[in-house]
């Protein structure tokens, strides 16, 4: 049976946990709020790029056409850097391991690197992004992917990441980075300056980099949402358990005081009889 002292030690531990989860919940709230604003604004920018791509998809896709069809596929796996976000990373990595057989892997995030290292799966390169990823970090990743494509080391690129729906839902998906289709331009042909080839090439790079950065942002936003949800749940549970321990400890103390009073009263009664 638990004593007052043992309950007191448990309570101190729970209070320490409460402080930690509250601090992490606050930090995640700030990061999630900032990322939400960045993502909302960038989504508008990405939407304009998508509309432009739909008009010249065939020409844009040809810029990154496969030079070596026999080369393996490149998988870009994007996870978070930290744990304490529930099953966020576990679900994504389990999803990937469910269909992966062979190919070149580029890991993004410490959890992805740790997973592949533990499983003994070789990766060609690893990238670590900030909690709030920058456009330049996505550009560095994109540049490396383009170099692999140009060297003929890969035939296609698929990004494996948690697609963001809302704060409570992030679903693992595997999507092609370079999609291929036919142009659907209508009406009068636009004027290309300095020339059509240069404009198409530069615009294609911006479009696909935009797609990649949007997916990196989605992964980061999902990680903060999952962390916030997990820390909020942990904080609420710790507070609830702390309240129960306090109640139990107070009852123990009251019971002990009552027992002491009865014992003293009994002693006085015995002396009075004597």
pLDDT band at 187 (very low <50, low <70, confident <90, very high): very low
Show Cβ contacts of residue 231 under 8 Å, excluding neighbours closer than 6 positions. Answer: 21, 24, 25, 28, 84
Encode pLDDT of 21-65 as tens digits: 888 889 889 999 999 999 999 988 888 888 888 777 777 777 777
Strand partners, 173: 161
Name which of 15-19, 73-77, 123-127, 155-159 the model is least confident about: 15-19
CATH fold for domain 31-230: Pyruvate Kinase; Chain: A, domain 1 (3.40.1380)
User: Are the C-beta atoms of residues 200 and 63 closer than 8 Å to each other?
Assistant: yes
pLDDT of 188 higher than 70: no
Compute, in degrees rounded to 10, the torsion defined by CA atoms 238, 15, 30, 175: -40
Residues 100-119 have a mean pLDDT of: 96
What pLDDT, on a 0 to 100 scale, did the predictor assign at position 99?
95
Provide the angle, in degrees to the nearest 10, between the axes of the packed helices 196-273 and 4-55: 170
Show Cβ contacts of residue 137 under 8 Å, excluding neighbours closer than 6 positions. Answer: 127, 129, 130, 216
What pLDDT, on a 0 to 100 scale, did the predictor assign at position 189?
53
What's the farthest any 2 CA atoms get from each other in the chain?
A: 119
- Picking from 176, 192, 13, 156, the residue whose alpha carbon sits closest to that of residue 71 is 156
- Picking from 140, 182, 135, 142, the residue whose alpha carbon sits closest to that of residue 159 is 142
CA–CA gap between residue 198 and residue 173 (Å, rounded) = 33
Q: Domain extents for the chain? A: 4-16+233-273, 31-230
Burial 41-80, CB ≥16 within 10 A → b, else e:
eeeeebeebeeebeebbebbbebbeeeeeebebbbbbbbb
What pLDDT, on a 0 to 100 scale, did the predictor assign at position 74?
96
Residues 123-150 have a mean pLDDT of: 95
Encode pLDDT of 251-273 as tens digits: 877 777 677 666 666 666 655 55
- Of all residues in the chain, what percent carry a pLDDT higher than 70? 88
Provide the angle, in degrees to the nearest 10, between the axes of the packed helices 88-99 and 196-273: 130
Which tops the pLDDT comparison, 193 or 126?
126
Residues 136-140 have a mean pLDDT of: 96
- Picking from 215, 179, 213, the residue whose alpha carbon sits closest to that of residue 92 is 215
Place of tokens 């010249």: 56
What pLDDT, on a 0 to 100 scale, did the predictor assign at position 24?
85
Helix (H, G, I), strand (E, B) or coil at 131: coil
What pLDDT, on a 0 to 100 scale, did the predictor assign at position 20?
85
Q: What is the mean pLDDT of the chain?
A: 85
Encode pLDDT of 201-256 as tens digits: 888 889 999 999 999 999 999 999 999 988 888 888 888 888 888 888 788 777 77
What pLDDT, on a 0 to 100 scale, did the predictor assign at position 54?
77
What six digits make up the tokens of 54?
């739909």
Any idea what DSSP says for residue 107? Answer: E
User: Are the C-beta atoms of residues 84 and 24 closer than 8 Å to each other?
Assistant: yes
């Amino acid at each position: 049976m638990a004593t007052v002292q043992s309950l007191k030690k448990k309570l101190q531990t729970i209070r320490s946990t409460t402080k930690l989860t509250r601090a992490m919940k606050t930090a995640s709230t700030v990061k999630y709020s900032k990322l939400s604003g960045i993502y909302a604004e960038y989504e508008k920018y990405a939407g304009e790029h998508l509309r432009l791509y739909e008009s010249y998809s065939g020409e844009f896709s040809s810029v990154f056409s496969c030079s070596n069809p026999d080369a393996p596929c490149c998988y870009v796996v994007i996870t978070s850097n930290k744990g304490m976000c529930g099953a966020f990373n576990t679900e994504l990595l389990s999803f990937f391991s469910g269909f992966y057989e062979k190919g070149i892997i580029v890991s993004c995030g410490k959890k992805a690197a740790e997973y592949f290292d533990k499983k003994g799966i070789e990766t060609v390169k690893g990238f670590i992004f900030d909690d709030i990823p920058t456009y330049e970090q996505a550009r560095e990743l994109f540049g490396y992917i383009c170099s692999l494509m140009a060297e003929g080391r890969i035939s296609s690129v698929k990004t494996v990441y948690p697609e963001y729906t809302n704060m409570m839902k992030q679903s693992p998906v595997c999507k092609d980075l370079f999609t291929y289709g036919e142009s659907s331009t209508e009406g009068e042909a636009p004027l290309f300056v300095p020339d059509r080839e240069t404009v198409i090439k530069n615009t294609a790079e911006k479009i696909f980099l935009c797609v990649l950065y949007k997916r990196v942002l989605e992964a980061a936003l999902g990680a903060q949402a999952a962390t916030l949800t997990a820390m909020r749940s942990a904080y609420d549970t710790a507070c609830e358990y702390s309240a129960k321990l306090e109640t139990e400890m107070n009852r123990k103390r009251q019971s002990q005081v009552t027992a002491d009073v009865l014992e003293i009263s009994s002693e006085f009664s015995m002396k009075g009889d004597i």
